[in-house]
């Protein structure tokens, strides 16, 4: 298919995302209409991941296959994918990035969603795209070179960002928030991180154990973080971002809810004794049913 057709296909796909994901911010829709996904996933045919049954190959390299709301394999041997645009669009919308914001994207992979974020924050904004795998860093630096507001860092995501940020998106599964992430948020800053601790039903081989959970979204307030769980997510684990004991307790907490949205209203970091408002209490943090103050 001629490249000249791709912009119209992206625009139609972005409009589909707007309708299906109820995207109220036109800048998010415009970003998906602008960024060519095919530049970040390699040449087709592609392996898509539409459901729990596993990968399916597209019949050819027609770029229309790229503009479907499905994950696409970057490296199937590592179960490394470019995630489903619909879910990521809703996650980005929950973070409410504004023009001129500084955003940290932890686990940027080849950079597609870093580019989406860069389009949203605009030329006055900044995106710090962090990736640990050297091959992905090399690809991200090439694919993201046209966005001058993006800095690709080859670094451990647990230690980043080094500077204050308005938005922080952890694009890999962890069992708990890292102090560096919470400390980096400016007043009113927002963070999203997948708290993963369960194994979903799947027939996919080599699936990473405990790689599913809920996406937690939090906003910094004066003394705590207003927080809520957005929706279920399955995602690769962040190296070093898991604690076996917390993982076990998180899995038990999820099980108590019988697959319904956990009733969390705040993320606390202040020292306090556990009480009936604590949904998951740890020494360094607490997911609480109580509203943030």
Mean pLDDT of the chain: 94
| pTM for the whole structure | 0.95
Residue 47 has what pLDDT? 96
Is the separation of the CB atoms in 32 and 89 below 8 Å? yes
Residue 211 has what pLDDT? 81
Residue 210 has what pLDDT? 56
Residue 54 has what pLDDT? 85
Is the separation of the CB atoms in 216 and 264 below 8 Å? yes
Residue 66 has what pLDDT? 97
Distance CA 70, CA 173 (A): 19
Distance CA 179, CA 99 (A): 26
Residue 28 has what pLDDT? 98
Distance CA 131, CA 110 (A): 9
Q: Tens of pLDDT along 145-159?
A: 999 999 999 999 999
Cα-trace Rg, the chain: 19
Nearest to 199 by CA among 164, 135, 250: 250
Q: Choose the weakest-confidence range: 47-61, 97-111, 185-199.
A: 47-61
Residue 109 has what pLDDT? 97
Residue 173 carries which DSSP code?
B
CB atoms within 10 A of CB 96: 17
Q: By percentage, how much of the chain surpasses pLDDT 90?
A: 87
- Predicted confidence band of residue 53 (pLDDT cuts 50, 70, 90): confident
Q: For the chain, which domains are there?
A: 85-288 (3.40.50.150)
Please compute the mean of the pLDDT values over residues 58-82 and round it to a whole number. 94
Residue 202 has what pLDDT? 59
- Predicted confidence band of residue 205 (pLDDT cuts 50, 70, 90): low
Is the separation of the CB atoms in 89 and 28 below 8 Å? yes
Q: Tens of pLDDT along 265-276?
A: 999 999 999 999
Q: Tens of pLDDT along 126-143?
A: 999 999 999 999 999 999
- Predicted confidence band of residue 1 (pLDDT cuts 50, 70, 90): very low
Here the tokens at position 80 are 């490394």
Distance CA 169, CA 121 (A): 14
């Amino acid at each position: 298919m001629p490249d000249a057709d791709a912009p119209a296909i992206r625009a139609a796909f972005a409009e589909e995302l707007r309708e299906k994901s109820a995207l109220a911010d036109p800048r998010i829709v415009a970003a998906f209409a602008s960024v060519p996904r095919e530049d970040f996933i390699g040449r087709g045919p592609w392996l898509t991941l539409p459901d729990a049954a596993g990968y399916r190959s597209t019949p050819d390299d027609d770029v229309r296959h790229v503009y479907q709301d499905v994950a696409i394999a970057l490296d199937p041997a590592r179960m490394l994918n470019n995630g489903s645009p619909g879910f990521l669009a809703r996650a980005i919308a929950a973070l409410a990035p504004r023009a001129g914001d500084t955003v940290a994207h932890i686990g940027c992979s080849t950079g597609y969603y870093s580019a989406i974020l860069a389009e949203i924050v605009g030329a006055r904004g900044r995106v710090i795209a962090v990736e640990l795998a050297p091959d992905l860093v090399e690809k991200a630096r090439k694919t993201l070179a046209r966005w001058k507001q993006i800095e690709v860092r080859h670094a451990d995501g647990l230690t980043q960002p080094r500077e204050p940020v308005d938005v922080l998106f952890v694009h890999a599964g962890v069992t708990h928030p890292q102090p560096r992430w919470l400390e980096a948020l400016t007043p009113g800053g927002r963070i999203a991180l997948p708290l993963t601790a369960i194994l979903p039903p799947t027939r996919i081989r080599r699936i990473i154990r405990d790689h599913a959970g809920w996406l937690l979204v939090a906003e910094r307030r004066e003394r705590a973080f207003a927080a809520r769980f957005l929706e279920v997510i399955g995602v690769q684990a962040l190296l070093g971002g898991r604690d076996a004991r917390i993982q076990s307790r998180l899995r038990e907490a999820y099980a108590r809810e019988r697959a319904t949205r956990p009733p969390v209203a705040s993320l606390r970091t202040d020292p306090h004794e556990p009480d009936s408002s604590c949904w998951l209490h740890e020494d360094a943090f607490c997911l609480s049913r109580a509203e943030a103050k």
